[in-house]
Each structure stands twice: as C-alpha cells, then as structure tokens.
A and B are shown apart, each in its own frame.
Chain A
Amino acid sequence: MAGAAWYPIAASHDLPLRHVFHGQRLGREFAVWRADDGFVNIWENRCLHRGVRLSIGINDGRELRCQYHGWRYSNRTAGCTYIPAHPADAPARTITIRSFPVAERYGLIWSSLVAAGEGPAIAVLDGEKALVLRGIAVNAPAKLAIEHLKNYRFQPLGAVADNAAATALTDCNDLSVTLRSRQDEAETLAVFFVQPVDANRCVIRGVLDADPAGKERIAVFHHHNERLSALRDEIERESATQTAPQPIEPVYEPVAPELAEIPPLAPAGRSAALNVRVARKWPAAHDIAGFELRALRGHLPTFQPGAHIDVHLPNGLVRQYSITNAPGETGSYMIGVKSEVPSRGGSQCLHETVREGDVLAISEPRNNFPLRRDAVRTIFVAGGIGITPLLAMAQALHHSNLVYELHYFARSQEALAFPDRLATLGDHLDTHLDLSPAATEERIRALLSNYRPRMHVYVCGPAPMLDATRRIASELSWPESQVHFEYFKNTHAIDDSSRFEVALARSVVTLEVPPGKTILQVLRESGISIPSSCEQGACGTCLATVLDGEPDHQDVYLSDEEKRSGAKIITCVSRAKSARLVLDL
C-alpha cells in the first residue's frame, strides 16, 4: 500500500545548519538532520540505548550525539561509533538506528517506508522553479484537509494583490491537491501536500511552480499565509464537530536479539562480506597510493577510528588496511597503500594491477585498535604509512575539540601521505622529517617526557620505531595501559614446533595442536568459527580468553602486561608452554 510511495516528511528549509528536526508521520516520529556533507538522514526518533528522542540530540555535522549518554551515531550509516561509558571498547555490536530512504526534491524532504527507487516524481513541478510555502499545522485528520484544499482559492504570481483569479482543481489524491490559478496572463500552479502527522493532526506543505524574488516573494508568502490560516480555521471548526479519532499507537520495533544481551563474542571468520568499486586511485604521497572504495549499492558499514578492513586482492592475497576517513565520512572508505620493496605481493598488486573502476572484495571494518576519547591529552606517533589509523583518530578528536597532538615521522616532505587531510589538523600536526634512528628516539623521548595521569599515546609505524616508543614510554613511567600500538606485521620468527592440547570450555571439546599447525587452524578444521584477519599475530582479531594453562605468546598485538597475565591469547600464532590450554570458547 502507501508504504512503497514517497511522502514529504519536512521541508528543506526545516533543516538549517546542524539542526535536528522532529518529524512525524502517522504517529511515528523521525529525527531528520542534514550532515555537513549535505546528506539528509531520516532516523527513527529513539536512541537504541534508553529510548531518548534523538531529535533533542546534537548534530555535530558528521555524527548525531544522544543527549543522555553521549552515544554517537554516524551520518548515513546510522551506526553507533562510540559509547563514552566504555571508552576503551570499540562498540562490539552492530548498534544501528533504523533509518529510512530519503530524497530531496521540490524543496521538500521525502521519505518512504521501503526503498522505493529514485524518489518522487511530480511532473507538474519538474520545471526549474519551486517555491515552498511555510508548513501549516492543522488539528484535523489529513482527509478533511484534502477535502477543504480542493476549494482553496489563491491569486497567481503577478496578480497577488488582486482578487479576481479563477482557481481550478487539476489533480487530487490521498497525498496532495493540485490547483491552477489564472487571472488574465498571470498563472500559477500549486501542489499542496498533506502530511498526516497523527490520526487527528496534519501539516499542509504547499509548493508553487514559481520562484519570485524580493518583495514579490514576500507578498506571495503573505498571501498564502493569510489564506491558508483562514483555511486552517475552517478545517478545525469542522473537525471540532466530529469525534476525534484515537491517536495512532506508534510502532516500537524490538532491538535485534544480539543487542539485548550484554556482550557476546564477535562471530564471523576471515570473510569478504562486501564488494566495493575503486572509485578513485591517486598518489597520496611519494610511494603511497590512495584508494577510495565505494559500495556497489547501498551504504558501507559503520567504521570507527582505528578500524581496518581486509582487502581480498585479485592475486588471492588478503591484506589489512586502516580506514583513514574522518567521522561521518561514510560514503566511501579511504585507504593508503605503500609500495613495499620487496613486496610480499599485496602492495605490488594494488599499485600495479588494481585500477579505478575495479571491483574488490573486502571484509566489514573491524576495530582492534580502538581510540579512547577520555584522555586529558592524546599523543599520536606515526611513522611512515603508520599514519593511516592515526589520521582517522586525529580527525575524530579534532572534530570533537579534544586535546591531541599528531607527530608524523617521515623521510621527506614528499613522503607525507594525504597532505590535504593533514592540512585540516592545523597546528596539532608536527612533522619530523629525515631523522636518523637515534635522532628519532631522542625526539620521541622528548615528546613523551611530560607524562601526566590520564594521558594516552597511540603509536603506529615500522617495528623498530614501535619497539623504541614502547621502551621509552616504559622508561618514562607511562603505565602500559596508556600506551596503545598497532604493528603492521609480526616480524618475529614463529616457533611452531610444540605439541599441546586445547580444551574448549564452552564447547566441551579437547583438540590436539600438532607441530606445524596453529590453534586457529585446528579449531577451523573442527568446524569452530573464530574471526581472524591478518593471521600473523599483528591485528588481534582472533583473540581468545584463556581460562587455564600457560600461553606461549608469539604475537605483537598484546601488551607485555597482557602477556604476563596470561589471560588472553592470539590464536593464529601463539601456542602453549603447558601441556594443556583451556580456552573460553
């Protein structure tokens, strides 16, 4: 029925900069807001957490923040990107507000209950000009308003001050009334859309096929304001003589079952869930290619700063790349790929083979390098291509006016990736060019020398630089929990010669891990699905909880403190020192 059709939900002029408009149709409420990139979001007007209206939330231009607990939801995807009560965690679950199709046309914002193609087509308004009148709210059923609008009389443009026009009804349906007014040479067509707000409430949104300027425009507004207000009084007088229909009970859909419980383990293996097109490939710096990846259809999933995707390459390899986007930039993912010499085959393939227009398979974004936003100061230390996750993080803090500094170590000015993005960070960015390893260490020591409680440092870059930064932070008494790092790869030689048993506490299964095989492989062979990504002990996706036994850590993901505690294990490389390991799987 009407579900497939487009209907107006607001006027474009209801969405001034950074406003959240409270829309309503048939008892159901919507939070309608325009992001700074122009995209209009039409969302269910309820935060999934505690049901507070999102229309009282804050539109920061990229994300909508709930007033109650500060949960952030991203432009376009409506996915939750940050839960301030748990700053160390990436929102583990797919918490996404229900959003509705949107089209902006004829000066109105249109929506639909289902995806309904290109948007509304109102042939009589398809000319260049459209003037949207002020919406007139009426306390009466929409049907009654439609009836009265058929007899609405108005003056055409050019004869507004007169009173001798003939108005003819040219079209009418459940949604709108179309009228043409004529006086001599002057002629104006008007479509009046009636938006049923509730059973006994509606809004009349008039659109004229004219676009006068200056005084004439104001005269037209006055003319219709006056006549529509009179019409409203007439409709409401008649409505008052009838029995008011019961308000429509709004629909409250239950949240997805996986959101209802406190937290499950993330499912899914190393999957290529999405197909994307390379929309743009460009030199992001000397030796670094930028790739912009767009969904073939629909929206890409929500990402958080620090997240990476697996890219499945035409040559069969799978590589991880961090998303560099700023918050709310959800139309595409931007990644940077360094040309490695010698390449293990991934960077070479992307640099040489993959072109604009090619289709690639990628995984959903995964965030094993989450950004806390509760630091009094955040220091980012990037080396070379290690800038990519930190660029996304820096832009997120920058946009929220949080205190941070980004230190970018590179060989030369030309080697600095994404210069246009870096420029948006202003004097938060400090570049350190062409330093020797010793000079780099000295500089890092200076950067980390003023430790205060609640400061956090994030470092990403080549392994020697990461190792040095971690060592220096430790020497300068930074708590390990406040030093966050992401290695590109695990450069340690993996010793897979041991033999041990793995007992799975939840599945009540015991498996043997022989030399030459990893825990992850043995689990997979037994049909137990664990998510994984880099499969070399760097990204942390295949993390499992250890209940008993002593792990033999061989990864570069866990901190030393985490390794000492023995409570977690990276199953793609690490093994057991004890004869038996009990995992919470």
Chain B
Amino acid sequence: MNAASKCTDAVILNLWHVIGDVSEMQAGIVYQTVLLEERLSFAIDAEGAPVAWRSLPPGKSGEAFDPGRVSGKLPTVSAYGCVWACLGQPSADIFPIPEYAEAKRRNVNAGTIGVSVSAPRAIENFLDMGHFPYVHTDVLGAEPYTEVKEYDVEISADRDEIVATRCRFFQPKSSVASTEGSDIEYVYRVPHPYCSVLYKTSHVDESRLDVIGIFAQPIDQEHIRAHMMLCLVDEDSNDTAIRHFQQMIFGQDKPILENQFRKRLPLDPRAETPIRADKSSVAYRRWLSQKGVTYGVIPAAS
C-alpha cells in the first residue's frame, strides 16, 4: 500500500475505531496493529489508561512501554473491553451500550478474527437472519424453517443509528432446557458504520436479553479484524465455552464473507438484488450513503 491509497474519508477518520482487546494485553507492553492502513502502536500505561500512537519507525510487539519516547499520541479510550483510537478529531463519544454496566451480567471478549472483507460487508452479514439455516445450520437456524418474517427498521429518533425491531427467527433447540425449537426475538442496532450490537432473548431467562457486539477494525478497505463482545445474562457457562461458541459462529461466517464479491459494499441499488428480508441492509446502505462514507464501500455513481 502506498501513502496515496490511505484513508481520506473524513467521516471514517473522525470516528473511534477498535484496535485491541484489553483482556489480551498486559500493562506496560507495546502492541502493534494496523488501522486504516496506518501502523499503530498501543499500550496500557501504569495508571491503566490506554495510549496509542503512529508507529515511527515500525516497532515490534512486546517492547516495554516508555511514555517518554512516545510522540504524536492519538485520542485513545477504553470501552467495552477494547482499546479505541481515532486518527482524526473524534466528533462524539463512543456509542452507548448501557447493558455493559448492568449488574448481574457477564462481559466477555469473545476474541478477534481476521477476515478478508470490508467492514460494511461484515456488518451487513451481522444484521442478516436469512442465512441462519444455511450458514449456522442446526445452531441459529435449520431447514425447513427459513422464513424471515416482517420486521421494522428505522433510524432512531434519539440517536444517529439504525434500529431493527420485531425481528424473529426460528432457532432449533433455542434453550438448554428445551428440545423443541422456537422463534427467537432479536433487536439490531447499527450505531457506528463499522459496529453493530444485537439483543437476543437469553436462553437462561426469557424475560432478559443477551447483548452481542461486533466491532470491525478496518485494516484497509478490504480487510478487517472483527472484535466480538458479549454481555450475557448467563451465569453458568464458563468463559471458554462462551468464547468457543462465538468463535464457531463467526468461523462459519468467515468463508462466506471471503467469497463475497465485490469485497467492498456496493451502495448503488443496482449492484445486487434485495428482497423484503433485506430491509435492514437496504437501510444500512442508504445510511452509509447519506453519511457520505466512501471507505470500504463502492459509492453509488452520482
């Protein structure tokens, strides 16, 4: 990648982006990553605060953190178990996930998976229920229960985010206790062009919702590291089992995403063929268009 091809999308540059999982870091050690084609170094300092800066010259992971030798610090915060940085001027706080702070919930960082796809393609897949019986067979869905029932999508009145409600999909063995499947309710939020959060009936307590977040770290326009955050009502399962489950699910999505062409999300309505079940993806594409996002997408010809 040459310098000219780096991100020039002001909307994306001024957003917070996830760059690492706190649970996988030790304080005082420097880690390396790539964000929007820029090499970054980041660390957690002695006070527990995250620090990130452009790597110059490119360093190696594992060096000791020396605050005196760091110049050009980027705006950096810690949220939802992750380190977030901004290459431009952050225009707002990181979107809220109030459940993360609720008592009696398990917050688990379920891992990070590299995928050769654009961030918007990964988000669109996260919003999609129609693939459950085919990609997550016998887990999130099963043939012949393939129907995507009518649901509602809107741009939230309070916040600049997409919200899909009344989403229901048939799930085989929907809880540990049941042998029969049933419809599971989902609510989807897209509060950030590269992040999404879903709420789903807890299999432990049907009156409460589990929260699953996907935060896509854009390496470049066609590669991401997907960070998965869980915020569950479940008090019984161990972290490892929860991580394994989530990684299995995402591992099923990965080969599909990597065989999707084009890799960037086309915003021109004539690029692909939507059906009613794709209402949320149609809204998402329109929302990205309206925001003027150009990075990781193929903008509609104007």
Q: How far is the CB of A371 from chain B (nearest CB, A)?
A: 12
B148 contact set on A, CB distance < 8 A = 85-86
Checking A50, A68, A86, A260 against B147 with a beta-carbon cut-off of 8 angstroms, the contacting residue is A86
Q: Does B145 contact A (CB under 8 A)?
A: yes
Q: Does A411 contact B (CB under 8 A)?
A: no
Q: Does B299 contact A (CB under 8 A)?
A: no
Q: Does A69 contact B (CB under 8 A)?
A: yes
Question: Closest B-chain residue to A92, C-beta based?
Answer: B275
B135 contact set on A, CB distance < 8 A = 67-68
B274 contact set on A, CB distance < 8 A = 49, 260, 262
List 6 additional contacts besides A50-B260, A52-B260, A260-B274; criterion CB under 8 Å.
Answer: A49-B273, A51-B261, A56-B255, A84-B143, A250-B261, A376-B144
B272–A50 touching, CB < 8 Å: yes
Give B residues with C-beta under 8 Å from A.
Answer: 130-131, 133-135, 143-148, 255-256, 259-262, 266, 268-277, 279, 282
Checking A46, A84, A376 against B146 with a beta-carbon cut-off of 8 angstroms, the contacting residue is A84
User: With A and B bound together, what is the CA distance between A256 and B144 in angstroms?
Assistant: 30
Q: How far is the CB of B10 from chain A (nearest CB, A)?
A: 27
Q: Does A402 contact B (CB under 8 A)?
A: yes
Given A51-B261, A56-B259, the answer on whether A69 and B131 have CB atoms closer than 8 Å is yes
Query: Closest 7 interchain pairs by CB?
Result: A84-B146, A254-B270, A85-B277, A85-B130, A85-B148, A260-B269, A260-B270
Number of A-B pairs, beta carbon distance below 8 Å: 103
Q: How far is the CB of B188 from chain A (nearest CB, A)?
A: 16
Q: Does A261 contact B (CB under 8 A)?
A: yes
User: With A and B bound together, what is the CA distance between A252 and B268 in angstroms?
Assistant: 12
How many A residues touch the partner, as a band?
35 or more
Question: Closest A-chain residue to B271, C-beta based?
Answer: A254
User: With A and B bound together, what is the CA distance between A29 and B261 in angstroms?
Assistant: 11
User: With A and B bound together, what is the CA distance between A69 and B144 in angstroms?
Assistant: 12
Give A residues with C-beta under 8 Å from B.
Answer: 29, 45-46, 48-53, 56, 67-70, 83-88, 93, 95, 250, 252, 254-257, 259-263, 373-376, 402
Q: How far is the CB of B252 from chain A (nearest CB, A)?
A: 10
User: With A and B bound together, what is the CA distance between A262 and B135 in angstroms?
Assistant: 24
Q: How far is the CB of A374 from chain B (nearest CB, A)?
A: 4
B273–A95 touching, CB < 8 Å: yes
B271–A252 touching, CB < 8 Å: yes
Q: Which of B256, B270, B273, B279 has the most CB of A within 10 A?
A: B273
User: With A and B bound together, what is the CA distance between A149 and B268 in angstroms?
Assistant: 45
B275 contact set on A, CB distance < 8 A = 49, 83, 85-86, 262-263
Checking B259, B277, B282 against A86 with a beta-carbon cut-off of 8 angstroms, the contacting residue is B277
A52–B133 touching, CB < 8 Å: no
A375 contact set on B, CB distance < 8 A = 144
B272 contact set on A, CB distance < 8 A = 48-51, 255
B256 contact set on A, CB distance < 8 A = 52, 67-68
B262–A84 touching, CB < 8 Å: no
Given A52-B260, A262-B282, the answer on whether A255 and B273 have CB atoms closer than 8 Å is yes
B268–A68 touching, CB < 8 Å: no
Question: Closest B-chain residue to A53, C-beta based?
Answer: B259
A376 contact set on B, CB distance < 8 A = 144
A259–B133 touching, CB < 8 Å: no
Question: Closest B-chain residue to A401, C-beta based?
Answer: B143
B276 contact set on A, CB distance < 8 A = 85-86, 262-263
B279 contact set on A, CB distance < 8 A = 262
Q: How far is the CB of A510 from chain B (nearest CB, A)?
A: 31
User: With A and B bound together, what is the CA distance between A46 and B260 in angstroms?
Assistant: 8
Q: How far is the CB of B245 from chain A (nearest CB, A)?
A: 21
User: With A and B bound together, what is the CA distance between A68 and B275 in angstroms?
Assistant: 14
Would you list 27 pairs from A and B whose C-beta atoms are within 8 A, ordered by A residue?
A: A29-B261, A51-B260, A51-B262, A52-B260, A52-B261, A56-B259, A67-B134, A67-B135, A84-B130, A84-B134, A86-B147, A86-B275, A87-B147, A88-B147, A95-B273, A252-B271, A254-B268, A254-B271, A255-B270, A255-B272, A256-B270, A257-B270, A259-B273, A260-B270, A260-B273, A373-B144, A374-B147
A69 contact set on B, CB distance < 8 A = 130-131, 134
User: With A and B bound together, what is the CA distance between A373 and B146 in angstroms?
Assistant: 9
User: With A and B bound together, what is the CA distance between A69 and B271 in angstroms?
Assistant: 17
Q: How far is the CB of A155 from chain B (nearest CB, A)?
A: 42
A67 contact set on B, CB distance < 8 A = 134-135, 256, 259
User: With A and B bound together, what is the CA distance between A367 and B20 in angstroms?
Assistant: 53
